[in-house]
Amino acid sequence: MKNIVLFASGSGSNVENIVQYFHDKPNVTIASVLTNKRDAKVLDRCNKLNISSLCFNRIAFQETDCILDILKGMDPDLIVLAGFLWKVPEKIINSFPNKIINIHPALLPKYGGKGMYGNKVHMAVKNNNESESGITIHYVNEHYDEGAIIHQAKTKILPEDKVDDIATKVHALEYEHFPKIIEQLLAQ
C-alpha cells in the first residue's frame, strides 16, 4: 500500500483530480490533505470526497515540529504540493528526502520563485509574449521552484490568448500529467 499526503492552499482542483485518479486504485491511499488556509475551498472538496483534512498555521508549520510529527505519523511514500504556496521548512525536506514534489504552472526555470504562482505566472508569460508555457513537476528543495525537474509538459500560447486562456491550457496539462507522474514515482 502506498500512502500520499497532499498540501494545498486554494481551490483544490488538483487535489480533487488526484483523489479521483487514485479512487479505483486499491494500492494507493490519500492519507490526508493539509492546508494553511481555514477558508480554502480545498476543505469543501475534502468534505465532499470524504478525505481527511487538517488546517494549520505558520507556527505549527515553521516554528514547531507539529506538522513534521504529523507527517511522520502518516508515513507518506510521497508528499504532494498541489497548489501549496508556502516554502517547506528544511526540517521537513530533510526528513522526507526525494519524497516531496511540487507542480509549477510554467516551464521552469522561467517564471519560478517566491510570489510566482497562479495567474501571476500566466500574466508574466503573456506580458513576455511567450510562444509556449506549460507545467513543471519537480522535487522540493530549500529554494522556491529550484528542485530537480521530474517532468515538463508544454502547450502553445497564441498571440491572442488572454491570461485566462493560458491558465485553462496549463490546468489541462496539470490534470493530465500530475496524477500519472505521481503514480510513476510511487511505482519506483
User: Quick one: cell of 179?
Assistant: 496524477
The type of residue at 59 is: I
Contacts of 188 (CB under 8 A, 6+ apart): none
CA distance linking residue 42 with residue 147, whole number of Å:
25
Give the catalytic positions in this structure.
Answer: 104
Cα 21 to Cα 130: distance, rounded to the nearest angstrom:
31
Closest CA to 106 of 135, 85, 138, 132: 135
12 vs 18: CA distance, rounded Å: 10
Nearest-angstrom CA–CA distance, 80 and 70 = 15
Cell of 114: 517566491
Encode burial over 143-174: b for 16+ CB neighbours within 10 A, e otherwise.
ebbebeebbbbebebeeebebeebbebbeebb
